[in-house]
Amino acid sequence: MDYVVMGRRVHKLRVQQGMTQAELAKKLKVSPSFVGHIERGTRATSLETFMALCEVLSTSPSHLMGLGVGQYLSSLPEDTTDPQRRIIGVVLEAALEQIRIEKQRGDEETQAE
């Protein structure tokens, strides 16, 4: 996992939500300096802290790690605004989730036969 990419995403999402590092740290039950390390990509998080980050920042693990939809969003034209990127990201995440659900249903039906 690229911790610098993840850190940039954490920073961007935190700022977009109007949170300080101290406020995010309090919600995560970590120190503000640790949030700074996360945002700079100089420290890894535990799985528990990583999942809490996703929840607090209202994002998916794949987006936070720079996988899937995030890769697509980074290839959008430079003049795409942040609100447009968020809308596209939400739509793509929803589509991917629907595909996963349908695949899971298909797998379950195949196993039942």
Q: Are residues 5 and 51 in the same domain?
A: yes
Q: Which two tokens stand for residue 97?
A: 């989730």
Sign of torsion, CA 49 50 52 53?
A: positive
Ranking 20-29, 43-52, 87-96 by mean pLDDT, the lowest is: 87-96
Q: How large is the average pLDDT for residues 81-92?
A: 87
Q: Are residues 43 and 94 in the same domain?
A: no
Q: What is this structure's pTM?
A: 0.60
pLDDT band at 66 (very low <50, low <70, confident <90, very high): confident
Q: Are residues 40 and 81 in the same domain?
A: no
What confidence score (pLDDT) does residue 21 get? 97
Q: Which two tokens stand for residue 92?
A: 């793509």
pLDDT band at 68 (very low <50, low <70, confident <90, very high): low
From CA 2, how far away is CA 42, in angstroms rounded?
A: 10
DSSP characters over 63-112 = HHHT-THHHHHHTS-TT--HHHHHHHHHHHHHHHHHHHHHHHHHHHHHHH
More confident: 108 or 36: 36
Are 2 and 66 a contacting pair, CB within 8 Å? yes
Checking if the pLDDT of 89 tops 90, the result is no
pLDDT band at 77 (very low <50, low <70, confident <90, very high): confident
What confidence score (pLDDT) does residue 74 get? 75
What's the total number of domains in the chain? 2
Residues of the domain holding 102: 77-113
